[in-house]
Structure 1
Amino acid sequence: MLTLHIKNMVCNRCVMVVRQELERQGLHPQKISLGEVVLEENELSDAQQDKLDAALVSHGFERIDDRKARLIETVKNKIIQQIHHTNKVDLKLNWSTYLAEEMHYEYNYLSNLFSSVEGITLEQYIIRQKIERVKELLFYDELSLSEIADKLGYSSVAHLSAQFKKITGFTPSEMKKSREIERNRKPLDSV
């Protein structure tokens, strides 16, 4: 079996597109998760790799070869999974412990590597992802601000609102009223 790491694969639709492309290429995916594909094949020829790389790029994805780049992409996917794809972010979730345990690396190493490559801290990235999730939940208008704060593990609505305003320049209520939210949402891979 061969494991591939794929950049910008951040949602279930991405998984579906990558699966379809792999099958179109005659490859046999055994398991596909955010940022990672396990193939039945043991190796790919240079021609297969080139063809696959071109197809992935045409869909906005990229195969990652570099170990450190794969590590950063996996960290991002773990964060996205927790914030965007779980029912509720645990209020007591200690991100440094969670990431260190999930990744099997010291948190300081992960944090320093992430900052040096991405130009922002892991904490800033987590906050930005949470704010994007808040925008999404505000857009769908199904939950109150209090329910959103609870769902995303904020200690209070005031804490959520302060972070939201710092990142977007609007309070959640202002953004919701102005419908600025429609122009302000970002794809997860560009956060």
Structure 2
Amino acid sequence: MKMNIKFDYNIICKAVLQEQLDGLNLKYKLNNLGEIHFNKHLTAKELESLTLAFGKYGIEILANPQNVLVERIKDLITELINDSEKSRKYNVSHYLSDTLNYSYAHLSSIFSEITYSSIENFIILKKIDLAKQLIIHKNLTLTEIAHELNYSSVAHLSTQFKKTTGLTPSAFQRIIKKRQEIE
């Protein structure tokens, strides 16, 4: 038997963080965008325990403020792309600048310096990942997917999809349908 599920990474991550932090009896407050505020400075032993506990789940403690900013940028972009209503309402550069209180030029510079890629390229990759998920898990037409992801046209979506994956969205759909028929 095969079952498809949908899950929210943010909810899962918050649950894991809460479970691990509660297990270590630390007083904390979870904020959005991957921030945890502690009521006191952590001892070296507490920090080591926390690092080990988080590491089991692939969660890394970021010490470099630039890395933290890049992760916040990625989180905000992911949140924006996954919320089609919000993504139609906001321009990404304005959204990032307004939310993080930095100029877009500064954010773009830091992002490129840390990731060796542009914010625009990250946005395209996230949109194409979501397009693949929509093709796999929803019965949407390419027109509906293009609209959902705020593309100006199906041709624009198709061009970026092919450039990123090497396949057209239609070819990807056919491959997925064949796999599902086999299973």
Who is 1:172 aligned against?
A: 169
Name the CA distance, whole Å, in 2 between partners of 1:78 and 1:52: 25
Task: Find the residue that maps to 1:170 and give its secondary structure.
Answer: coil
Task: Find the residue that maps to 1:131 and give its secondary structure.
Answer: helix
Who is 1:52 aligned against?
A: 50
Query: Which of 112, 115, 118 is the equivalent residue of 2:115?
Result: 118
* TM-score, scaled relative to structure 2: 0.85
| TM-superposition CA deviations, 1:64-96 (whole Å, max 9, x none) | 111111111111111011112x24353353211
Q: Give yes or no for contact 2:108–2:119 (8 Å, CA) kept in 1.
A: yes
Who is 1:135 aligned against?
A: 132
Name the CA distance, whole Å, in 2 between partners of 1:139 and 1:181: 11
Q: Give yes or no for contact 1:164–1:172 (8 Å, CA) kept in 2.
A: yes
Aligned-pair identity (%): 34
* Larger RCO: 1 or 2 (CA < 8 Å, sep 6+): 1
Who is 2:60 aligned against?
A: 62
Change (3 A) 1:89 1:159: farther
Task: Find the residue that maps to 2:85 and give its secondary structure.
Answer: coil
Q: Give yes or no for contact 1:11–1:34 (8 Å, CA) kept in 2.
A: no
Q: Which amino acid aligns with 2:69?
A: L
Q: Which has the larger radius of gyration?
A: 2
Higher helix fraction: Structure 1 or Structure 2? 2
| TM-superposition CA deviations, 1:149-181 (whole Å, max 9, x none) | 111111111111111111001111111111299
Q: Give yes or no for contact 1:19–1:32 (8 Å, CA) kept in 2.
A: no
Name the CA distance, whole Å, in 1 between partners of 2:156 and 2:126: 15
**Cα shift at 1:31:** 2.8
Who is 2:78 aligned against?
A: 80
Task: Find the residue that maps to 2:87 and give its secondary structure.
Answer: coil
Task: Find the residue that maps to 2:30 and give its secondary structure.
Answer: strand
Name the CA distance, whole Å, in 2 between partners of 1:123 and 1:116: 14
Give yes or no for the alignment of 1:15 onto 2:33: no
Task: Find the residue that maps to 1:51 and give its secondary structure.
Answer: helix
Task: Find the residue that maps to 1:44 and give its secondary structure.
Answer: coil
Unaligned runs of 5+ residues in structure 2 are 1-8
Who is 1:6 aligned against?
A: none
Higher strand fraction: Structure 1 or Structure 2? 1
Change (3 A) 1:171 1:179: same
Q: Which amino acid aligns with 2:30?
A: K
Q: Give yes or no for contact 1:89–1:151 (8 Å, CA) kept in 2.
A: no
Q: Give yes or no for contact 1:138–1:176 (8 Å, CA) kept in 2.
A: yes
Name the CA distance, whole Å, in 2 between partners of 1:181 and 1:119: 36
**Cα shift at 1:142:** 3.0
Name the CA distance, whole Å, in 1 between partners of 2:136 and 2:86: 19
Unaligned runs of 5+ residues in structure 1 are 1-9, 183-191
Task: Find the residue that maps to 2:54 and give its secondary structure.
Answer: helix
**Cα shift at 1:45:** 1.2
Name the CA distance, whole Å, in 1 between partners of 2:58 and 2:178: 24
